Chains A and B, each alone.
Chain A
Amino acid sequence: MKHDEDFSQMLEMLDEDFQMEMLEQLNPKMSDQSSDSAIIRRIEIKTFTKLGLREPAVKRLHANKRRFRWKIATIFTASVLICAGVIAAVPGPVSAALQKWIEFIPGIGTVQQSDGQSNVAVLNRPVRADSPNGFVTVMGVMMTSTQIDVRVNGPGAVMPNNVSFKTENGQTIHLDAGGVATGSQWSGNYIAYGKFGAVPTQETGTIILGSGWNTQIPVQLKLAKSVADMSKLGPTDVHQGVSITAIAQREAQKVQLTLVPQYHGPYHIWDLAPNVVSSDLGIHIQDASGKTYKVNQVLGEGPNSQFTFSPTKGVQDYTVTIPRVDATYQGSARVTLPIPKTGSIAIDKTVNLGGFPIHFIKAERVSDNGSSAGIRYYVDMHASLTDAKELHGFQTGTSYSAELNKQTGVFEWIMIDAKPNQRNMTLHLTEPQVYISGPWKFHIRIQ
């Protein structure tokens, strides 16, 4: 909204002391975000790494960081398992494993792809319990006929190492411990592999923390239910080997829209609504009258796949269009490029990155302050708006800035700092970023 931008920009112009005073003197109420421990830990690790500091009291208790290796089924014959609220209850390493094959869909719950044979029982919500060393929280439990994965966290620096799971029929299964502890919080990941028999539809198990913890935590696991395939949950469209299902759920005055991509290939789709040349999301919604709707993104840990919009009262049918999605391919390449002493020089060097050509055309020295020089490399990535797949960016192995083409959103040049006397530069190109074009179109009906 224009008002919002104007007034926010005005307050952004205030010097730091006024901004401090604004918060201190006016003391506005402010909503904080409850961060889960996995996010805090990631931030902590990133920060310490950036600063070159050794994390205090960080104890990597086990090198064994095994994860469930869920057997992915052939996508188009996949069946879907549903269990309400699983992802919300199993963040961190367990959910990381789960999320590869599972999508959380507001109003429906968690949807899992499988071949329809494997069963999985999960904990619906975290369970907190007191223990002699303070409280502990069981964040997630996932159980199949061959694997059990339990995630527990708590305050302090010492995590339990002796953990087992007792099934309803009295079988006690010892779990291998792994995890991370900082000085203030620990997060344990406990895993066992074996033959545990068929997963029951309901399981009342007990997590047992031994060796001084003397804590037993009852947990209720529920078996996921299955439906035939993803397209039963909403309209599905396929382009370039990428199938996307749009699942819409009304929630109060809004519609929650979840896009679930399915694909095979040497790439990972990380944005389902990339904004190419503006700050608008690359997703369009309109009704039969042609009225368009503003779409808001729901920020989450996964790919940019959840959105909301406010429907018109009495209007049930809408068309959702996704022009393109953004994917990161596999691939790496090294290229050594000249650095001009002054001005610019022509380059004619092409490298192949993940199957996509990058043609380096020209190098230009655009700045030199005596301690560093700004070198701009012009590239031609052979992109066209009509291409089904077009390379639009990549990583260079070093800090850089880039200029994008206004129409295509594709790199025109990259700029990298060099030492003043440097004669050439070797770049390690990785992570080719590719737009895959649709459009994917969905007709959704809001009940």
Chain B
Amino acid sequence: MRITHDNMADQLRNGNPEALSALIEAFSGSVLALCTRILGGVGTPEDIEECVSDVFAAAWNKSEYYDETRGSLRTWLLILAKYQALEIRRKLKRRKNVVVTVGDGALSSIQDGANPVSVFAKQDDPVATEVLSREQQRAVFEAVKSMDPRLRDVFVRRYFLYESIEDIASDLDISRSAVDNRLSRSRRWLRDQLQENAKGGTAFDETR
């Protein structure tokens, strides 16, 4: 049977190995790029290829959980890749006895340079910097979503997709300092929005 983008997900669910082969052929570039960015400097090229292979194996094993109405196959694979690569990065760092921490403690106020997540933490609850509630996640998501598109594109590429500043600058045909400037403005904007939200502001109501 000929595998196309239209029947790939169905054939994957049906357990057709040709669909897996086609999936790898179609999306290995995207998955490899993301895994390389996340594992760069920590893992070897072999670790990265292993990670990409794990992603496609996970896609095969979890194909029944893929829901077309929530996103494309590529998006789903990229999320699987992100989780897989982050997990491997944690293991590699742990193997080297590197302590992986989230933020630098519970802060009650947010200042420039402070961990943005700390805006959600209570002073006596350091664990709060490691987990975000659904409401807090929604606040973060909505804050990013409502950014100026030019800032948001750079912000998401840098912090969500781990692209290098050089690559972003080159792709957008702007200078590195312009990228830095947009990142700085996006961080400041996001901090302000989150702080506003934490104070009980109305910046992120569901209808926005």
> Could you list which residues of chain A lie within 8 angstroms of chain B, going by C-beta atoms?
2-4, 6-26, 28-35, 39-40, 42-44, 46-48, 50-51, 53-57, 182-185, 270-271, 275-279, 281, 296-297, 299-301, 304, 401-406, 409
Contacts and interface: CB of A to CB of B under 8 A. Distances in A.
A185 to B, nearest CB: 7
Given A6-B103, A43-B28, A26 B53 contact: no
Contacts of A20: 70-71, 75-76, 79
Contact of B56 (A23, A47, A183, A404): A47
A43 B49 contact: yes
Interface in B9-53: 17-18, 20-22, 24-25, 28-30, 32-33, 36, 40-42, 44-45, 48-50, 52-53
B144 interface: yes
B71 A23 contact: yes
A11 B18 contact: no
Contact of B44 (A56, A270, A277, A279): A270
A281 B41 contact: yes
Given A31-B167, A32-B30, A299 B117 contact: no
Given A43-B56, A46-B50, A35 B157 contact: no
Q: Report the interface size class on chain B.
A: 35 or more
A304 B39 CA distance: 14
Contacts of B79: 16, 19-20, 23
B182 interface: no
A48 B17 contact: yes
A14 B29 CA distance: 24
A14 B156 CA distance: 13
Contacts of B98: 277-279
Given A9-B103, A28-B153, 13 more contacts: A6-B103, A11-B140, A13-B130, A19-B160, A26-B144, A32-B30, A42-B49, A47-B60, A50-B54, A185-B25, A275-B96, A279-B42, A401-B95
B102 to A, nearest CB: 5
B84 interface: no
B161 interface: yes
B204 to A, nearest CB: 13
Contact of B70 (A17, A34, A54): A17
Contacts of B115: 6, 10
Interface in B64-94: 70-72, 75-76, 78-79, 82-83, 86, 91, 93
The 6 closest A-B pairs by CB, nearest first: A33-B33, A46-B53, A7-B159, A28-B156, A32-B29, A56-B18
